[in-house]
Amino acid sequence: MKIFVLEVGRPIKQDVERDIGRVDDVLSIPRAISELEIPKIAAQAYAKIMRLASGGEEVAIVLSGPLALAFELGQALGLGHAKIIVYQFSQGKYVKVPPLTREHLFEAMKQQ
């Protein structure tokens, strides 16, 4: 598994390495960003993630930044065919989030 960190506004790489393991690549913007920057940053992160995923490698993504950035990056990754693992900061440490499955989606559609 490869680990990718996208940190906006505050550094998280050391915390990720403590909780998960060695970070293979990082995109760091040590300041607040504007909404106009989000598409470009999402595209840069996408390119880094896809490079890490080449050859079928699983990539763990840890992001600290705006929700809109996470959403746009998720849209881009949905177009690719990378094996993605997502981590969430919870109760003082980074923990793995269970993957969203087709079964989750079908069940949600049935409930509508």
pLDDT tens digits, residue range 13-54? Answer: 999 999 999 999 999 999 999 999 999 999 999 999 999 999
Asked whether 109 and 101 are in contact (CB, 8 A), the reply is: no
Asked whether 23 and 49 are in contact (CB, 8 A), the reply is: no
Condensed to tens digits (0 to 9), the pLDDT of residues 1-19 reads 999 999 999 999 999 999 9
0.75 surpassed by pTM: yes
28 DSSP β-pair partners: 7
